């Protein structure tokens, strides 16, 4: 069973978009898949159940069918930092719930589990803890989504340093082009290739969902 944690250089850099791509690539290679969103913030109530759009995307992209509460066991309605949403609801983010959730997914025995984080690497979850602490406990390899925009070099390098300092392996990074005209795009890519101590796994062009070329690049991760 291959298991990867998907983090990003910041919020709104396309973690879910890339995670969906990765699940599609694994499925195209004939592998069974499950996506997991342990903590989410921002959702709507559907049939008396809070549904986060990112979690729904992972659910729909997985080859094994599970309920939204299994894919996303901890969900908050306000689109704000999860630990603040928890405080507003007079509750806490329970690590045991997160652990139990991934163990349920493992019990399905998929070939691939992708865990999508929230925000960036060092996401607070309350009581002095971070979501990265959970990933450290799992000893899970990490895939970094680099949102290609001004500032991404600093964010990518600092995130990679933090992952390494936590004793985890950065499996590689994926460049996600957030707009069609980023200035000096290729020079930024080359700088990341030079300074990041992990391979570039794919370069996802702006506005090309489902690109066969990208799917082929990403499928190699699972080979």
The encoded tokens of residue 122 equal: 């060092």
pLDDT (0 to 100) of residue 211: 77
Pick the catalytic residue from 15, 37, 56, 171.
Answer: 37
Q: Are 118 and 82 in contact (CB under 8 A)?
A: yes
Sign of CA dihedral 33, 38, 44, 49: positive
pLDDT at 48: 85
State which residues of the chain have pLDDT below 50.
none
pLDDT in tens, 65-92: 999 999 999 999 999 999 999 999 999 9
What is the model's pLDDT at position 17?
95
Predicted local confidence at residue 47, as pLDDT: 86
Q: Is 19 exposed, middle or buried (0-12, 13-18, 19+ CB in 10 A)?
A: buried
Q: What is the pLDDT of residue 117?
A: 97
Catalytic residue at 37? yes
Give 96's contacts (C-beta < 8 A, 6+ positions apart): none
In the chain, the domains with their CATH numbers are: 2-222 (3.40.50.300)
């Amino acid at each position: 069973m291959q298991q990867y944690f998907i983090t990003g250089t910041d919020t709104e850099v396309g973690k879910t978009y890339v995670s969906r791509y990765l699940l599609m690539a694994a499925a195209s290679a004939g592998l069974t898949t499950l996506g997991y969103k342990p903590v989410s913030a921002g959702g709507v109530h559907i049939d008396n159940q809070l549904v986060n759009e990112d979690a729904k995307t992972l659910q729909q992209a997985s080859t094994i069918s599970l309920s939204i509460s299994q894919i996303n066991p901890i969900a908050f309605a306000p689109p704000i930092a999860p630990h603040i949403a928890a405080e507003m609801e007079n509750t806490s983010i329970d690590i045991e719930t997160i652990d139990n959730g991934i163990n349920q997914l493992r019990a399905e025995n998929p070939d691939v589990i992708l865990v999508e984080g929230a925000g960036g690497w060092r996401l607070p979850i309350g009581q002095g803890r971070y979501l990265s602490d959970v990933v450290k406990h799992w000893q899970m390899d990490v895939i970094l989504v680099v949102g290609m925009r001004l500032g991404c070099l600093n964010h990518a390098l600092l995130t990679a340093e933090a992952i390494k300092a936590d004793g985890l392996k950065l499996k590689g990074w994926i460049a996600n082009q957030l707009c069609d005209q980023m200035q000096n795009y290729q020079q930024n890519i080359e700088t990341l290739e030079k300074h990041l101590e992990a391979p570039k796994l794919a370069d996802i062009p702006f506005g090309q969902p489902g690109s066969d070329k990208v799917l082929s690049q990403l499928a190699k991760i699972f080979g």
